[in-house]
Structure 1
Amino acid sequence: GRLRRRPDRRLVVAASAEAPARPAAHCVATADGGFTVALTPAEPGDLVLRLRDDPEGRQLRLPLDREGRGTVSRAEHRLAEGRWDAYVTASTAARARRLVAHRVEQAALVGAVPTVGEDGVTSWIPYTTKEGNLTIRTWRRPAHAEVADITLDEESALVTATPHGPPAELALAVRQQEPDVLDFTIPLRVLPTGRVLLTIPYERALAAPHGRWNLLIRSTDGTLVPLGRIGGDTVDRRRTDLYPMVTRGESTLLLGYTGDNALVLTTAPVRTKDTPH
């Protein structure tokens, strides 16, 4: 007769031996720039936010109610700049476990501007990591210039920004090239609205050594203020805020954002078929 393959009993795992489901949460950004968290399924416990890669090991612990709900308000809490990973200590497990983002609603942040107060310039954006977990991206700095508009004309790139900090004096493009720091000045004009207009001539930018240049505003007191877009609901603008590449002669110029939403200017040789990638 025909041989019949018997199932390998060693591969059968009892359901009771499976790892318990990881805790999940529904997170909603609030109008004040904070956020609410609701565990699913509902159970009491503590929300624990840990600042990623922090030598000081800073964390924030917030008790949740009986339904597993809590609010982290901007008025009551100060979070240092960085990425705060969310964990939960539930009643059924004392050890803090990474919190899965069941759903993150950011509608309240659409079009929002950074908050300016005694704590400096701040912004919080809850988001889902690529692993599916809940993290809060925060910015907190004493001064900042929020990019409002970028226009490319025939001769120059025009950047309009709202400065938060000491009065602006001039703008700089700065590049770290060990052991030196290179820079060149960018014309800056203060507009009647209080915003500033940076005019970046292509010829001047492409005359400098090729590379990635950080864009900063220098205030009258010498403070260097970073330019970027930290407001709104977008945690990483590298793939959403895109601008055309400018080609002049054998060189290219491109404005864009870093993974921290800082505005940068990148210049490079024109790529040809023979250019190594």
Structure 2
Amino acid sequence: MTPPASPAAPLRADCIGDSAGGLTFDVAARGNTGAALLILRRRTADATDTGEDAAEGAAEDTVSLPLAPAAEGRLRAALPSSVSLPEGRWDAYARLSGGDPRRLVPGVTDLRSLAERTPGGLLGHVAVRIPYATRRGHLTVRSWLRAPHAEAVDLSVASGGLTVRGRVYGTRLLPGAHAELRARPDADRGGQGPGARLLDVTAVGTEFAFTAPYDGLAPGDWDLWLRPAGAPGPAVRLARLLDDIADKHPLLTGRRTRVETPYGPAEAGPYYTRDNDLSLAVTPLEA
């Protein structure tokens, strides 16, 4: 366990995930802590991840959890999966003895149960919370709340395209289910993208698979969506959320393949966005 912090040191919090998706925070704090709280504040949508404190927001953008004595010099707060935490990045603070909230820094983190978790999806949604250290070393919790959810379980990259195998939660795969490869709007086109491509899906129970061919794709970014009930039903963004990695973008990069397109030679390959959604990038090459 992390040793108790000295009065001059930043408050440090150990974090443990459970198999239901909840989190437990153990804060090292000596002396008389009074009525202590662990406070989570959601950042604004345009805030960067450089460790700045979240601005004071509306009541619905703040979650306060009681910090109770757990051992000598330690306080504990629980964030069970039943407590709603809207999607976003939540900066973690501790308020001791009625003082000002103090930014927490991460201590020992054990998220093995999150990586092994298989949610039931019976509530119609999937809730995921992953604590991580910001660039400045502060503790923040990344939360996702997807209703329904399409999890990208396995990616296979071949020369001709990307094969995705996944699983749905909170919905069923019905006849007519298909995937969509949607071009992201491009500022150079006045906000218009070159369209979308429909992809056939093979479905067995809650599991699905499809292949996204690279041929014919215009340069740019293409986002992957699933329509579990076909065109009349909801469009569900494909993502990989059910593990312990808060930001996959710099860590999990798919192999890029050289392809010939009507627009000239290009490199194509999958990647995860900053929100852990699945996309394709098509980058022009010199002929």
Counterpart position of 2:96: 90
Identical columns (%):
27
Q: 1:182 offset after TM fit, Å?
A: 3.5
Q: TM-score, normalised by structure 1?
A: 0.82
What does residue range 16-95 of structure 1 map to in structure 2 within 5 Å? 20-42=8-30, 43=33, 45-53=36-44, 56=58, 58-67=61-70, 68-75=75-82, 77-91=83-97, 94-95=99-100
- The answer to whether the 8 Å contact 2:133/2:140 transfers is yes
SS of 2:68 mapped into structure 1:
coil
Q: 1:65 offset after TM fit, Å?
A: 1.0
SS of 1:66 mapped into structure 2:
strand
Q: 1:21 offset after TM fit, Å?
A: 2.8
Q: 1:115 offset after TM fit, Å?
A: 5.8
**Inter-CA distance 251–181: structure 2 relative to 1 (3 Å threshold):** closer
Q: 1:271 offset after TM fit, Å?
A: 5.3
Counterpart position of 2:209: 197
Q: 1:30 offset after TM fit, Å?
A: 1.8
- Which range moves more in the overlay, 29-38 or 182-191? 182-191
- The answer to whether the 8 Å contact 2:20/2:119 transfers is no
Residues in 1 aligned to 2:29 and 2:163: alpha-carbon distance in whole angstroms: 50
Aligned residue among 176, 187, 195 for 2:199: 187
SS of 2:69 mapped into structure 1:
coil
- The answer to whether the 8 Å contact 2:124/2:148 transfers is no
Aligned residue among 161, 165, 172 for 1:160: 165
> Which one has a bigger Cα radius of gyration?
1
Residues in 2 aligned to 1:23 and 1:145: alpha-carbon distance in whole angstroms: 37
**Inter-CA distance 115–48: structure 2 relative to 1 (3 Å threshold):** farther
What does residue range 1-277 of structure 1 map to in structure 2 within 5 Å? 20-42=8-30, 43=33, 45-53=36-44, 56=58, 58-67=61-70, 68-75=75-82, 77-91=83-97, 94-114=99-119, 116-118=121-123, 120-164=125-169, 165-167=171-173, 169-174=177-182, 175-177=184-186, 178-203=190-215, 207-218=216-227, 219-220=229-230, 221-249=232-260, 250-270=265-285
Residues in 2 aligned to 1:167 and 1:176: alpha-carbon distance in whole angstroms: 28
**Inter-CA distance 89–119: structure 2 relative to 1 (3 Å threshold):** farther
Residues in 2 aligned to 1:110 and 1:167: alpha-carbon distance in whole angstroms: 25
Q: TM-score, normalised by structure 2?
A: 0.79
- The answer to whether the 8 Å contact 2:125/2:148 transfers is yes
RMSD: 2.2
Matched residue type, 2:21: G
Q: 1:159 offset after TM fit, Å?
A: 0.7
Deviations 1:139-163 (A, max 9, x none): 0021221001111234332111112
Residues in 2 aligned to 1:157 and 1:51: alpha-carbon distance in whole angstroms: 35
Equivalent pairs counted in the alignment come to: 249
- The answer to whether the 8 Å contact 1:111/1:233 transfers is no
- Which range moves more in the overlay, 250-259 or 151-160? 151-160
- Which range moves more in the overlay, 78-87 or 232-241? 232-241
Contiguous gaps of at least 5 residues in structure 1: 1-18, 273-277
- The answer to whether the 8 Å contact 2:173/2:203 transfers is no
Counterpart position of 1:16: none
Counterpart position of 2:48: none
Matched residue type, 2:112: A
- The answer to whether the 8 Å contact 2:66/2:77 transfers is yes
**Inter-CA distance 137–246: structure 2 relative to 1 (3 Å threshold):** same
